[in-house]
Amino acid sequence: MNLASMNISQRLESAILITLFTIFSAALAMADPPGRAVDIRYISGQVSVQPGGVNDWVEAVVNRPLTTADRVWTDKDSRAELHLGSSALRMNSETSMTLTNVDDQTVQVELDQGTLNLWVRHLYDGEIYEVDTPNLAFTVTKAGDYRFDVDPDGDTTMVAVRHGEGEATGQGNAVTVHAGEMGTFNNGTSLQHQAADLAAPDGFDDWCNVRDEREDRSLSARYVSPDVVGADDLDQYGTWRVEPGYGAVWIPAGVEVGWAPYHYGHWVWVEPWGWTWVDDAPWGYAPSHYGRWVFYGGAWGWSPGPVVVGIRPVYAPALVAWVGGAHWGLGIGVGFGGGIGVGWFPLGYGEPYRPTYAVSRTYFQNVNVSNTHITNITTVTNNYYVNNSTTVNTANIHYANQTVPGAMTAVPASAMTNSQSVAKAAVQIPPSEAAKAPMAATPGVIPAKTSVLGANAGAHAAAPPAQVTSRPVVTKSAPPPKPIPFEAKQEALAKNGGRPLDPQTEQQIRRQMPAQTAQTPKTGTTPAPNAAGAKNASGGNPTNGRVVPRPPSAGGSSPRPAGNASSPIGNNQGAGTNTTRSVPRPPSAAGTSANSSASRTTSSPSTNSESPSQSISRSSGTTTGTTAREPVPRPSTPPKAPAKKEEPKPKEKDKGK
C-alpha cells in the first residue's frame, strides 16, 4: 500500500469509528468535560484573567487554556485575542468579558463594557454563540463577523454585523440584525433601538481584519482540522513533511539542541481537566493539546489527528504519560529536594491517552481516535476503561518515547504546585532509569491556589474597577451554575490524590456549602422573557429567576459613532417571547456537522419564527417582520485592511504576528 492510500485508509477508519461512537447515550456524555477550551492567543499591553473559583486577578500569559466562568480584562491601551479554532474573540482596550459557558454546543459570553469582535468561521448544526450585555442577549444565527460595543455606563449596546446575521432578545420583541447593518440599543432591556449603515472601519476593525486574513492564508490548514485551536500558529515556526508510517508531520524550527516536548513551560490547574500544560513557545498550544509527538530521524515532529469534515477533535489538557511514585528517585542519584517527584513524557503515535479525570466510555474513545490513529479502539477501551476512569495496567504497553534521550522530564512536586518554570526546575533522569521508571495513573500532586492562578500568581495585575460589579446583563441561554470556590474543595482534592473531583462529589460539596458562599448567581440580572407579558427591567418581574453575576469593569471604550442616516426603528409591539426560532443542540462536539460558513453568501432570513420579531431596516426606519426585507449580500471573503495599517506591537508575546 502506498503512502497516499495508507493515509486515506487511516482517515476513513477514524471517521467510521467516530461516527459509531457518537451514537452512544447522551446521558453518559453529560458528565464529560467539554471537548474544547479557549486559547489566549494574543496579548498586547496589560491583560488579566480571573480563573473561575477564585477572586484574584492575575496577569495573563499566552497559551493558557480558559473555560467556563473565567474572566478577562484588557486594561487601557491593551488588546487580546482568544481562540476556539473555528471562531475568535477579540477584545479592545478597557473591555470586561466573562466566558459564561463554553461547552461542546455553546459559547456564551458576558460583555460588561468595552468592544468585542466575534468572528465565527463555521457554525455547526445546533451550535450557539451568544453575547450577553446590559441591554440585550445577541444570538448568532449565521457564521460571520460581529462587533459589540457597550458604553462604560452600560446604558447602550451597539451591534454591528459586517457579515452574517443574528438576533437580539430582551424584554421586547426580538430584533434581527442582518449583514451590513448596525443597531444601537438603549432604554434598558426594552430593545428600543436605532439603525444605521455600518460605520467606517476604525483601528480595531483593521487589526481584526489583519488577524482574519492571516488565518485565511494558513498553510497548516491543509493538514490539520480547522477546529484544532492554534494550528495556524505553526506556519511561521516550522515545516510540514510527509513521513512513512505517520503521514503529515510538523517539524518545529529554531529549537535548541536537546529540546523535547512538554519541557519548556509550566503546569496550571484548570478544571474540569485538572493539571494542564501551558507551553512557552508561541506555537505551543496545538501540539500540547492535540495529536501526538513522534521522534523520527533524530528530530521531534508533531503528528496531528485525522482530518474528518464536520468532526471536531477533542481537546486534552496534556497528552503525556505519567511516571513517579512516593519513592521514585531514591537510591538512583535523582534528588527532588527532599520531596516527591513527578515525571512525564509525550505520548507517541497511536498510543492511548488515559485521562486523569472521570470520563465516559464515549469520551475516552473520542479523545483518542480524534487525535491519533488507533488500530482497535474497542480493544484499547476494554483494556483501559473501567467505571468512568482509566486503569493503570501497563505491563504490556511499549511507549515509544519513554526511551528517547531527553524525552522524560521530571520536577519536584512543589514546582508543579507553584506553576514554576519546568525547564528551570527539571531534574535530569539517567536514560537507564527513564526506561524503567514506574508508570502512574496521575501525577499525584495536590493543587493549591497558586496552581489555579498560574505562573504570575502573587504579582500585580490590572483589574476592572469594582463600581460596576453589580451591573446586570440579559441572558437568553440558561448559564451553568457558578463554580465552587477553590478553597471550598481543597480538602476533597487532597483526599482525591490530585485528581479533579467527579460531578457527584462536587454536587455534594455544593449542597453542604452555606448559601452565602455557594457562589450562586446574584439577583438583579435580567433574563430575556420566555412568556408573553413579561415586564422590562424598569417594570421588574421577569418571567424566570435566571440571573448571572458579572465581573467589574471600567469606563474607557464607548460605542462608535453611528453611520449615516441613523434613525429610530419604531416602537416594540409589546412584550413578546425571547426567541424567534428554535435552536436544536448537537449530540456532542465530536459528532457535529457544519451548517454555515463565514465564507459563504448570506441566504434569506429564516421565517420559522415562533413569536413576533423585528428586523432592522436602514431604508425605512420602521419596524418590520423578518420576511419583509432581503438581507444585504455578504462578500465571499472578509474585507482587506488598508495597506498602511499594521498590527500594534504587543507588549507580551504574540503567538501570531
Tens-digit pLDDT profile for residues 369-379: 999 999 888 88
Q: What is d(CA 386, CA 389) in angstroms, rounded to the nearest whole number?
A: 6
Question: Which pLDDT value is given to residue 650?
Answer: 47
Mean of pLDDT values over 412-428: 94
Cell of 536: 422590562
Percent of the chain predicted with pLDDT > 90: 60
Can you name the residues that pair with 161 across neighbouring β-strands?
A: 146, 181
Q: Do 532 and 75 contact (CB within 8 A), yes or no? A: no
- Nearest CA to 487 among 449, 447, 513? 449
| pLDDT tens per residue across span 90-114 | 999 999 999 999 999 999 999 999 9
Asked if pLDDT for residue 265 goes beyond 50, the answer is: yes
Q: What is d(CA 93, CA 73) in angstroms, rounded to the nearest whole number?
A: 9
Question: Which pLDDT value is given to residue 517?
Answer: 53
How many C-beta atoms lie closer than 10 Å to residue 606's C-beta?
A: 16
Question: Which pLDDT value is given to residue 557?
Answer: 40
Round the average pLDDT of the chain to a whole number and report it.
78
How many C-beta atoms lie closer than 10 Å to residue 588's C-beta?
A: 24
As to burial, measured by CB atoms within 10 angstroms (0-12 exposed, 13-18 middle, 19+ buried), residue 214 is middle
Question: Which pLDDT value is given to residue 317?
Answer: 98
Can you name the residues that pair with 124 across neighbouring β-strands?
A: 594
Question: Which pLDDT value is given to residue 169?
Answer: 97
Can you name the residues that pair with 289 across neighbouring β-strands?
A: none
Lowest mean pLDDT among 51-55, 356-360, 586-590, 629-633: 629-633
Residue 613 confidence class, pLDDT cut points 50, 70, 90? low
What is the DSSP pairing of strand 128-132 with strand 106-120?
A: parallel
Q: Do 212 and 647 contact (CB within 8 A), yes or no? A: no
| pLDDT tens per residue across span 541-586 | 333 333 333 333 333 343 333 343 333 333 333 333 333 333 233 3
Question: Which pLDDT value is given to residue 614?
Answer: 63
Q: Residues 418-422: contacts with CB within 8 Å, 24+ apart?
A: 418/448, 418/450, 418/451, 418/457, 419/266, 419/267, 419/268, 419/450, 419/451, 419/453, 419/454, 419/455, 419/457, 420/266, 420/455, 421/265, 421/266, 421/455, 422/262, 422/263, 422/264, 422/265, 422/266, 422/267
Question: Which pLDDT value is given to residue 377?
Answer: 87
Q: What is the amino acid identity at position 604?
A: S
Question: Which pLDDT value is given to residue 430?
Answer: 86
Cell of 558: 464607548
Question: Which pLDDT value is given to residue 615?
Answer: 62
Percent of the chain predicted with pLDDT > 70: 69
Asked if pLDDT for residue 41 goes beyond 50, the answer is: yes
Helix (H) or strand (E) holding 611: none
Asked if pLDDT for residue 636 goes beyond 50, the answer is: no
Mean of pLDDT values over 486-508: 93
Lowest mean pLDDT among 92-106, 183-197, 281-295, 395-409: 395-409
How many C-beta atoms lie closer than 10 Å to residue 510's C-beta?
A: 17
| pLDDT tens per residue across span 64-96 | 999 999 999 999 999 999 999 889 999 999 999
| pLDDT tens per residue across span 173-228 | 999 999 999 999 999 999 999 999 999 999 999 999 999 998 888 999 999 999 99
Question: Which pLDDT value is given to residue 457?
Answer: 97
